Structure 1
Amino acid sequence: MFQYADPRIENYFLMNSPLPVMLILAFYASFVFKIGPALMKSRQPMKLERIIMVYNWVQIILNGVIFLLALQELPKLNIFCSPMDKSNHPDALAILNLQYAYTLLKIFDLLDTIFFVLRKKQSQITFLHVYHHIMMAVFSWITCKFFVGGQVYFLGLANLFVHVVMYFYYFLTSWDPTYRNSVLKKYITQLQILQHCFIFTAFALPLFNTNCSYPKPLLCVFLTQAALMIYLFTNFYMKAYSNPKKVN
């Protein structure tokens, strides 16, 4: 499979081999489900409010900057069909670097769950939360290694915007805990559902475009993943907000 790898990304940090990222994700899963809970079992929850506030602002800035840079490249793409470009053209290299930065962000996102464990917030570590983090890291690495640019760009663009909003909400809740039970949480979930609907559409349009050269099997994989995320987030939304008292 690695004969199809993009040679431009080979010498980038974490991109030469899948092993480092696999080890990071293996440690992540082990810490979340085994090591972390065992470590914290007889300890008081760690007070990480200040660290989390700084982490949230770092996420807001990083996601915001990459989103704004990505917007500058958007006029060069077409949502109906944006083929991959593995050339050394400046536009193609700009998209490569943005996609690589996005991949690193998905690994940085794993700290969310680590903070939950250290604060003994096990109720917030749901299947949806862990699955979403792991799959975003895996898919980001694979596309950055083999399928840079093209249609996947729209996934990253939507996800970056949602993360700016989401981490600002997280900052508000760490600054003032009363925001945790506000209606904002409901709106954030709605925004996440809309994000995945947009992503589904962005991959469905080129699938039915017979003149589009973007790999159809890859589009099917992304569509399946987007459909699953729509289902999981909608299911979470129905369970969390079917009772109006939960958002008051």
Structure 2
Amino acid sequence: TLVMRESDHQLSAQHGYMINCLCKLSSFLAQRRIVETEQGSKVMSDFEDHLTLTFPSKIPKNLIAFRMSQLGTLPFNIYNQLPSQNWPSLVSPDWWTNQIYLLILKKPKSEWRWVPGETPLSTGMEVLYGILFYLGGILLGKAILKNARTIELKFWVSAHNIGISLLSLFILLGFLEQIIPKLREHGFFWTICNYYSYTQPLELYYYLNYLCKWLEFGDTFFLVLKKKKLQTLHVYHHALTMYLCYIQINGKTSISWFVCSVNLFVHVIMYYYYFLASRGIRVSWKKYLTSLQITQFIIDLNLVYFCLYTHMAVHHFPNLPNVGDCRGTRQSAYFGCFLLSTYLFLFVQFFIKVYAESNKIAMNKRKEEKAKEKKST
């Protein structure tokens, strides 16, 4: 509870009341916003904690016990922000993104906006059509190529895989450039839950990551053209990951940067492995890729369930211990938790089926060979 000085409340009713915090004053004042609502003027701060403000008796009652759980419902323009470049130009993804944006669209990337219906591929129907096209393309491709010869696509497969690996690395570095300064200044919880942690530069990288999922449909189409067997896990993962990225950016989920960053890190390694495999280069660490993916989902699930818990506690179960609200919609939170849980289950199942069973087969062969050696001796 923060006690406010009575002398600090001399502003007119027209402009609201400016509250001078006795705690963390310097950092608080830099982030303060006064928002006009139907009930009166309320102060919005960047405190991560769940705060209750206590005011002198002269302050109107509608300002008493303003809790920071209301923060997620208050308007805030993420596009009115200072330039975000944090690294030297030549190694800054933000700088390069801006140069590409200027080259293609003749305007700075700071003017980019996620506007459903205006931004390309920003509506639910477009995503639905994309998924249907993906699934239909698989069925149609298999039917057409059933009796056809296998198509040689070595160059295109290699180019696709190394391209996705490098693009994933670029987007990952873009996330890190934006997040690392915020981690240093505000801490981890602020970056995954605070209302202000969701920024325009980050949203642009969310969008690039979302577009990357469309490009990853190429993985499946190359397998179809090469007449390879498709795993159910592969199709399920590719189809729904794109929708997950769409629903998270549409819901402005602040924790998305962490999930995206871990996924991009995995994809940098995974698609590099695919590139090597397409060139006929064998590596000894293939089996660790699935373990890495499983680890990714375990880490993600721990974090997203934590954020969902503290969000639900703030809004529905205030007596439960919590650390404050987290930004995002319930729809995106529920779907994200559900989908990541199914991914974990399916990848563990795949790991057991492929690697555990193959190990058993290898062990049985060794036993048979040893038994034959004993008989021969």
Out of 165, 190, 198, the position equivalent to 2:291 is 190
1:133 aligns with 2:238: yes
Aligned position for 2:205: 98
Question: Structure 2 CA distance, aligned partners of 1:172 and 1:26?
Answer: 31
2:85 maps to none
Q: 1:39 maps to which residue? A: 144
Contact 1:189 1:233 in 2 (8 A): yes
> Does structure 1 conserve the Cα–Cα contact (< 8 Å) formed by 2:193 and 2:307?
no
Q: Which one has the bigger helix percentage?
A: 1
- Equivalent in 351, 359, 371 of residue 244 of structure 1: 359
The alignment-based identity, stated in percent, is 27
The 5 A counterparts of 1:68-87 are 68-75=173-180, 76=182, 79-80=188-189, 82-83=192-193, 85=195
2:217 is the alignment partner of 1:110: yes
Q: Which of 332, 341, 347 pairs up with 1:233?
A: 347
Alignment of 1:1-248 (within 5 A): 8-10=113-115, 11-15=118-122, 17-32=123-138, 34-75=139-180, 76=182, 79-80=188-189, 82-83=192-193, 85=195, 92-122=199-229, 125-145=230-250, 147-176=251-280, 179=282, 183-209=284-310, 210=322, 211-215=324-328, 217=330, 218-242=332-356, 243-244=358-359
Structure 2: tracts of 5 or more residues without a match: 1-77, 80-112, 311-321, 364-377
Q: Is the 8 A contact 2:254 2:328 kept in 1?
A: no
Paired letter, 1:31: G
Q: 3-state SS of the aligned residue for 1:42?
A: coil
247 and 154 in structure 1: CA distance in 2 versus 1, 3 angstrom threshold: farther
**2: CA distance between counterparts of 1:168 and 1:161?**
11
Which residue type is aligned with residue 288 of structure 2?
Answer: Y
Equivalent residue, structure 2, for 1:3: none
Q: What is the alpha-carbon distance in structure 2 between the residues aligned to residue 112 and residue 104 of structure 1?
A: 14
Deviation at 1:205, TM superposition (A): 2.4
What is the SS of the residue equivalent to 2:199? Answer: helix
* Residue range with higher mean Cα deviation, 21-30 or 60-69: 21-30
Distance 1:108 1:173 in 2: 19
* Alpha-carbon spacing, 1:223–1:22, altered in 2? closer, same or farther (3 Å): closer
Please tell me whether the aligned partners of residues 266 and 293 of structure 2 are also in contact (alpha carbons under 8 angstroms).
yes
Does 1 or 2 have the higher relative contact order (CA < 8 Å, sep 6+)? 1
Number of aligned positions between the proteins: 232
Listed one character per residue, the Cα deviations across residues 95-130 of structure 1 (whole Å, up to 9, x for unaligned) are 1100000100011111100000000002xx111101
**Contact in 2 for aligned 1:193/1:234 (Cα 8 Å):** yes
Q: 1:170 to 1:201 in 2, by over 3 A?
A: same
| Bigger shift: residues 155-164 or 220-229 | 220-229
CA-to-partner distance for each residue in 1:133-181, whole Å, 9 max, x for gaps? 0110111112222x2240122111111010000000001101115x2xx
The Cα shift of 1:207 comes to 2.8
For 2:212 and 2:194, locate their aligned partners in 1 and report how far apart those are by CA, in whole Å.
22
Contact 1:204-1:223 within 8 A present in 2 as well:
yes
SS of residue matched to 2:193: coil
Mapped to 2, the partners of 1:247 and 1:176 lie a distance apart of 23
